[in-house]
Amino acid sequence: MHLWPKYLAVALYATVGVHASIPNGRLSVPYDAGVPDRRERGGTARRSAWTVLIGRPLRSSETAKEQITPVEGLSALSLDALTSVAYGPEAIIVVLALAGAGALHLVLPITVAIVVLLAILVFSYRQVIDAYPGGGGAYAVSRANLGPGASLVAGAALIVDYTLTVAVSIAAGVGALTSAFPSLTSATVPICLGILGVITVLNLRGLGETARAFLLPTMLFIVGLLAIIAIGLIHPLALNTPQPGHSLLTAHGLQTVSVLLLLKAFSAGCSALTGVEAIANGVPLFKEPRVVRAKRTELLLGVILGVMLLGLAILAKRWHIGPRSNQTVLSQIMATAVGRHWAYYFVSLTITVVLALAANTSFGGLPILTSLLARDNYLPHLFSIRDDRQVFGNGIWVLTGLSALLLIAVGGNTNEMIPLFAIGVFTGFTLSQFGLVIHWWRTRPPRWRHRAAINGFGAVITAVATAIFLISKFTQGAWVVVLAVPAFVFLFKRIHAYYKRAGVDLGIGILPGKPAAKRTLVIVPVTSVSRLTRHAISEALSLSQEVIAVSVVIDQGEDSQRAAQALEREWSAWSPGVPLRILHTEYASVVRPIVSFIDEAREDNDQQIVVLIPVVVPEHARYWILHNQMDRVLSAALRTRTDVVVARVPMPVQVPPSDVAPSPVD
């Protein structure tokens, strides 16, 4: 009966395709497939450093420590939306400026329309949180109400948007830094990647720690900007102070005020709404009661963002703020309100910091989205696996990789990515709004017509904004999103088709027949008679009484013949009770004859073949290269043999200091 755990481990290897190992005489499966055994001394220092970096492993019962409160939700999931005030109002003014200075008064009514849409979106996503507390936002709503096709479009659009959000946020923050310190311009990409690395590590530690780390700069940004807006509305301190740079406005403008221009300005200003959906996507990240806390955070975000947008628009209209060279609209408003003194520079610094930290919104949303896609068999299942810190680490690493590639490709230039920005999230907005209309029509709760009308209106408005984004920015780079979203959808469908075929082939969901037992033949490759060989043979005999040791001799004349004969004599003298088979070859590869021998043994269908490969595990990783890599080469050669189990038999070796005589070999 004591053999069943070993047979279970061998069966597990055959099922999932990982290397089995036998450390300290017990067959097991390594903690990480393809990673050296965690008990090897060579990896202790590296593991300790990694543990210090991301924290100790958490039990499932400890996950509450990494869940967030509504206030922490602002720093963890809302920075993308909050920091959009740095570029949303400016986007409106830049478009209106095409019609000249006389059109700038329209910034306020356009902003009011955007705030109305913000209110609709906040209302809608609070309903999404209620109806779909498992997270996923637009993907979950579309999947339940619009079918798999629409849900895949929503999922693909959100992945594109999350990646762009990370890259744009970090690039914008670094851009503000290099504007203040031009000498750092040449290091833009390394600084971007450094910030990305810090945010990645913080999220690998857990969203709770990230939220708490970002809470102070978030609160300083919110309080500081609201204070500046209040001062500007009540009593500006530098109303007539000349602004640096020169105005980019013209008296008559290049265009007339038209419906198309107003729609362009409205859609451009809608970039201030990106990130509103992140809270609904990340409901599982909140402390219990999750739904209540997530809805509070959504409402808190809507109120703060709406007040900021309206306040900035009122001041921009009152002071006739227009585009200027080397000056952002937000910078002009701040300078006019409080002057270019310590308050101006302090808030400017916090804006720079939170712009870079706004990338964290994506790290809260995308891992949950990819876990849901993986659960539905549209992404590899590894995305649904939590790591030691109870986070979806694989989703975090993929987001980091995609964002890093994008930052490198555009050289950390925000302007290269702005044309792509917001298209993905507005696609998600539109689908979630239409999905909620169908949801209300199906469920018909009290006042469902009222709710459906609001969502229907929001769907139409966001659809119009999405269309204007695509048309007006298609040649500027939006075509990349048009190609990327269908590419992701195609990838999702191919993965789903594979899982469907694999499920049929594996008989998942079908009661299988009774298991059939087979006798086991264990093959042990050896090179000499040693303690390592004894260790491997002992483990082989614990699995089966049918064991064969094989050794390869390369025929290169009399020396090789004498070596083979010497090994046979030594084996006979040792007499382990296991036959030794000498395999002769004229080729340099020792793997080929072993594989041929195994293939001959495979012809007997009534037996299971297990290949146990002895492996020396040196005390330090630096000695690893000094030993042969038979286990890796032979495992690779046998990877396609699905009816052969390949296992490692590691034996730790501690080399004594050179002035100490080695112990005699048993």
Q: At 250, is the secondary structure helix, strand, or coil?
A: coil
Name the E strands within 541-643.
546-554, 580-585, 607-618
Instruction: Report the alpha-carbon distance of residue 77 to residue 319 in Å, rounded.
Output: 33
Do 215 and 282 lie in one domain? The reply is yes
Tell me how crowded residue 490 is: count the other CB atoms within 10 A of its CB.
12
Do 272 and 145 lie in one domain? The reply is yes
What are the residue ranges in the chain where pLDDT is below 70?
A: 1-47, 60-64, 179-180, 245, 248-255, 326, 415-416, 418-419, 605, 627-628, 655-666
pLDDT in tens, 524-557: 999 888 888 999 999 999 988 899 999 988 877 7
Phi, psi of 38 (to 5 degrees): -70, -15
* Residues of the domain holding 548: 4-39+519-653
pLDDT for the residue numbered 183: 80
Do 466 and 524 lie in one domain? The reply is no
Buried b (16+ CB within 10 A) or exposed e, 292-317: ebbbbbbbbbbebbbbbbbbbbbbbb
Do 497 and 524 lie in one domain? The reply is no
pLDDT for the residue numbered 138: 85
**CA-wise closest residue to 543 among 596, 599, 607, 597:** 607
Whether residue 129 is contained in a domain is answered as: yes
Do 620 and 492 lie in one domain? The reply is no
Question: Which CATH number fits the domain that encloses residue 72?
Answer: 1.20.1740.10
Structure tokens at 176: 């503000």
Distance from the Cα of residue 630 to its chain's centroid: 35
pLDDT for the residue numbered 307: 95
Instruction: Report the alpha-carbon distance of residue 273 to residue 118 in Å, rounded.
Output: 7
Question: Which CATH number fits the domain that encloses residue 647?
Answer: 3.40.50.620
Q: At 302, is the secondary structure helix, strand, or coil?
A: helix
CA-to-CA separations, 244 to 312, 323, 527, in angstroms, rounded: 20, 12, 80
Do 485 and 530 lie in one domain? The reply is no
Whether residue 277 is contained in a domain is answered as: yes
Instruction: Report the alpha-carbon distance of residue 643 to residue 335 in Å, rounded.
Output: 74
Whether residue 403 is contained in a domain is answered as: yes
Do 490 and 543 lie in one domain? The reply is no
Instruction: Report the alpha-carbon distance of residue 188 to residue 166 in Å, rounded.
Output: 15
The 519-525 sheet, strands edge to edge: 20-21, 644-653, 607-618, 519-525, 546-554, 580-585
Whether residue 644 is contained in a domain is answered as: yes
Whether residue 360 is contained in a domain is answered as: yes
Do 539 and 455 lie in one domain? The reply is no
Domains in the chain, number: 2
Whether residue 551 is contained in a domain is answered as: yes
pLDDT for the residue numbered 251: 56
Beta carbons of 321 and 56 less than 8 angstroms apart: no
Do 460 and 532 lie in one domain? The reply is no
pLDDT in tens, 478-499: 788 889 999 999 999 999 999 9
Which residues have C-beta within 8 Å of that of residue 557, sequence separation ≥ 6?
A: none
Whether residue 147 is contained in a domain is answered as: yes
User: Where would I find the H helices in 138-187?
Assistant: 138-145, 148-180
Last residue of a domain, one of 501, 532, 564: 501
pLDDT for the residue numbered 180: 63
Last residue of a domain, one of 501, 530, 562: 501
pLDDT for the residue numbered 153: 93
Do 524 and 475 lie in one domain? The reply is no
Do 530 and 489 lie in one domain? The reply is no
Whether residue 589 is contained in a domain is answered as: yes
Do 533 and 567 lie in one domain? The reply is yes
